[in-house]
Amino acid sequence: MPWQPRDLMDTKREFLELALQEGANRRELCRRFGISPKTGYALLRRHALQGMSDACKPRSTRPHYSPARSSAAIEQAVIELRRQHPRWGGRKIAQRLSDLGFSGVPAPSTITGILHRHGLVTSEASQAAEHWQRFEHELPNALWQIDFKGYFETGAGRCHPLTVIDDHSRFNLTIAACSQTDTVRVQDHLQRAFLRYGLPVRINADNGAPWGSPAKAEHGLSALSVWLIRLGIRISHSAPYHPQTNGKLERFHRSLKAEVLNGRSFMDLAQAQDAFEHWRGVYNHERPHEALGMQTPAARYQVSPRTLPAVLAPIEYGPDDRVLTVGWNGWVHFEGRKLRLSNALHRLPVAMRPDPKADGCFDAFFCHHRFMRLDLRSAATPI
């Protein structure tokens, strides 16, 4: 099967970076990218002979650079990179020049001086520069962060950018221009990501639709979260009014706004999507990330070995669980009490699991997910 023409170079580059990871299952990657093993291995051979950039281009052997460039050429390259990426500073430009194979790359401080000399750094930009240090998970796919980045107007209506990143590598798995923020659209884009990259261990989302909210009556069990739980994915939610829980995604949104959205307008969703996909290639494969030791996200990411199943597995519980089938509007009856769970659980089984250390206390589970605690010794509502 041939490569698809849309964003061909970025797609080839992404395939190569993932296929070159230690232990990568290359035939499985070919299947996920929709190409034949013959096509995939041909690209790998070309990469071994020509390198990443030439392997992704249509057979052109024109070099990106010359080893004999003078200092004037280096300075021009610095200016050119800055014009292409106005938010990049000295460290990112130095790393990118090194990645591109330039010899005699100046120190980041020297590059910053070049930018100042050519009027490419404002005092406001210098004051706004920040160092970010955050906890990160040890392995790719241990946690994905997902959210919508607000919305902006296009000539044909609103665009709600849906974004998903991997916590460990900051690799952007999805950036989609959506007209709505409903469950159907989110599930469709997540399914595409699962088919290509596999399943994560956990996904963290904000509170509210379509993600759900544990503080509300439905205990965070929206239709979307029910689907994710049935896939074996753990779900969690940011603390209310604390978006920093998804801090890496918030930082990603700042970069998206600064490097793609500010000062631009789009005719429609398709034009916005084209801009997103071009920037995604730069962000994942070219843009050095200071929090990653100046590596790119793609250099730290590996696909998950857990694949998306063709059919959801049956729901099973333990022998000591009290299994209930959820009725209309999310209601169940248990031990003489009428409990409101979630509309999304209609006709699905849940388990009331007794607490061996507290007589009369039960934990409510849907598959592996504990969503409620019930104390029969109290007249209070479930917690």
Note the pLDDT of residue 131. Answer: 43
pLDDT tens column, 171-191 = 999 999 999 999 999 999 999
| Judgement on whether residues 338 and 264 belong to the same structural domain of the protein | no
Calculate the CA dihedral of residues 250, 254, 256, 262 and round it to 10 degrees: 150
Distance CA 271, CA 262 (A): 15
- pTM score, two decimals? 0.73
Note the pLDDT of residue 86. Answer: 75
pLDDT tens column, 14-45 = 999 999 998 899 999 999 999 999 999 999 99
| Judgement on whether residues 183 and 244 belong to the same structural domain of the protein | yes
* CATH classification at residue 189: 3.30.420.10
Residue ranges for the chain with pLDDT beneath 70: 1-6, 59-70, 121-136, 215, 217-218, 240-245, 379-383
Do 372 and 329 touch, CB atoms closer than 8 A? Answer: no
Distance CA 55, CA 52 (A): 5
Q: Is residue 244 part of a domain?
A: yes
**Residues 6+ positions from 323 with CB-CB distance below 8 Å:** 317, 349, 350, 351, 352
Q: What is the DSSP string of 174-198?
A: EEEEES---HHHHHHHHHHHHHHH-
Note the pLDDT of residue 88. Answer: 81
Note the pLDDT of residue 247. Answer: 79
User: What is the number of structural domains in the chain?
Assistant: 4
| Judgement on whether residues 157 and 296 belong to the same structural domain of the protein | yes
Do 239 and 215 touch, CB atoms closer than 8 A? Answer: no
The 10 Å CB-count burial string (b at 16+, else e) for 228-267 is bbbbebebebbeeeeeebbbbbebbbebbeebbbeeeebe
| Helices and strands (DSSP H and E) totals, the chain | 13, 12
pLDDT tens column, 235-244 = 998 876 555 5
The gap from C-alpha 321 to its chain's centroid, in whole angstroms, comes to 36
| Judgement on whether residues 149 and 294 belong to the same structural domain of the protein | yes
| Judgement on whether residues 198 and 281 belong to the same structural domain of the protein | yes
| Judgement on whether residues 197 and 342 belong to the same structural domain of the protein | no
Q: Reduced to 3 states, what is the DSSP secondary structure of residue 368?
A: coil
What distances in angstroms separate CA 326 from CA 47, 298, 312, one per listed residue?
55, 43, 19
The single-letter code of the amino acid at 311 is V
Distance CA 63, CA 58 (A): 13
Q: Is residue 216 part of a domain?
A: yes
| Judgement on whether residues 265 and 291 belong to the same structural domain of the protein | yes
Note the pLDDT of residue 321. Answer: 95
User: Above pLDDT 70, what percent of the chain?
Assistant: 86
